[in-house]
Amino acid sequence: MKPHETLPYTELPDYSDADRIERSRAFYEAMKTRRTCRYFADDPVPRAVIENAILAAGTAPNGANHQPWHFAVIATPEKKKALRAAAEEEERAFYESKAGAEWLEALAPLGTDADKPFLETAPYLIVIFGQRKGGMNPGDTKQNYYVSESVGIATGMLITALHDAGLATLTHTPNPMKFLNEVCDRPANEKPVMILVVGKPAANATVPAHATIKKPLDQIASWL
Ligand code: IYR
């Protein structure tokens, strides 16, 4: 390593091997209950939960620690309505022509269509942007690196934090998403990556059976 300013590594708990196995098993059990949700209750959720989850997402590993992300939290009925109208317009074009037969066939077991009522029902829509430029400090115009990887990891951590707080999420990606810059008042050099719909599931919420089938370990991992 080259000389650089350092601090001691974070103190991690010195678990026994048995504890590590048990904790990792319990964490898997907890994560296994996460489901993408398309039916939300309109119950309010404290803003502090969202703030803490975003802070957790902001600890994600990322390119050169430039932290190339922005989380625009939409919580007002007016903004949700505007976002829904714009998203549904894109979705209608997608389902009517852009998707194509193969894509529509892949989506059939999920039952999705262009109607997105949850965009107005759920208490929060977190619009996640990747910043191509920005560096670490406000006003910086430095190049950012590995933006999609960094934002993808942060989004995974955000979803995990919200699941841990007992909230349901939906990763929603209308296509194209450029309209989100205007709705969220973000500069043109930021790229909308996805909308994370957040809230409690509706009392009668269902999930597609298709989505509950997960690949077994021997299909997703190899040991060399
Ligand atoms: N964005 C559309 C279509 C869609 C695409 C995929 I790939 C999905 O896994 C789910 C939906 C929509 O939200 O309906």
Give the pLDDT band of residue 27 (cuts 50, 70, 90).
very high
In angstroms, the CA 182 to CA 177 distance is: 10
What tens digit of pLDDT does each residue of 56-113 get?
999 999 999 999 999 999 999 999 999 999 999 999 999 999 999 999 999 999 999 9
CATH code assigned at 103: 3.40.109.10
Residue 143 counted as domain residue? yes
Cα 113 to ligand 1 centre (Å): 8
Show the domain range for 169: 36-204
| Residue 8 located in a structural domain | no
**Predicted confidence (pLDDT) per residue in 104-138, tens digit:** 999 999 999 999 999 999 999 999 999 999 999 99
Q: Is residue 105 domain-resident? A: yes
Distance CA 26, CA 12 (A): 18
- Considering the domain boundaries, does residue 29 fall inside one? no
Q: Is residue 126 in a domain?
A: yes
Nearest to 72 by CA among 142, 37, 124, 148: 124
194 lines ligand 1 (CB under 6 A): no
Output the pLDDT for position 181: 98
Q: Which atom of ligand 1 is nearest to the CA of 175?
A: 1
By DSSP bridging, strand 124-131 and strand 69-74 are antiparallel
159-205 pLDDT, tens digit each: 999 999 999 999 999 989 999 999 999 999 999 999 999 999 999 99
Q: Judge if the beta carbon of residue 130 lies within 6 A of ligand 1.
A: no
Judge residue 138's burial from the number of C-beta atoms within 10 Å of its C-beta, 0-12 exposed, 13-18 middle, 19 or more buried.
exposed
Examine residue 27 and state whether it is found in any structural domain, yes or no. no
Q: Identify whether 213 is part of a domain.
A: no
Peptide bond into 117 cis (omega under 30): no
- Structurally, the chain folds into a number of domains equal to 1
Residue 102 inside a domain? The answer is: yes
Q: Are 75 and 123 in contact (CB under 8 A)?
A: yes
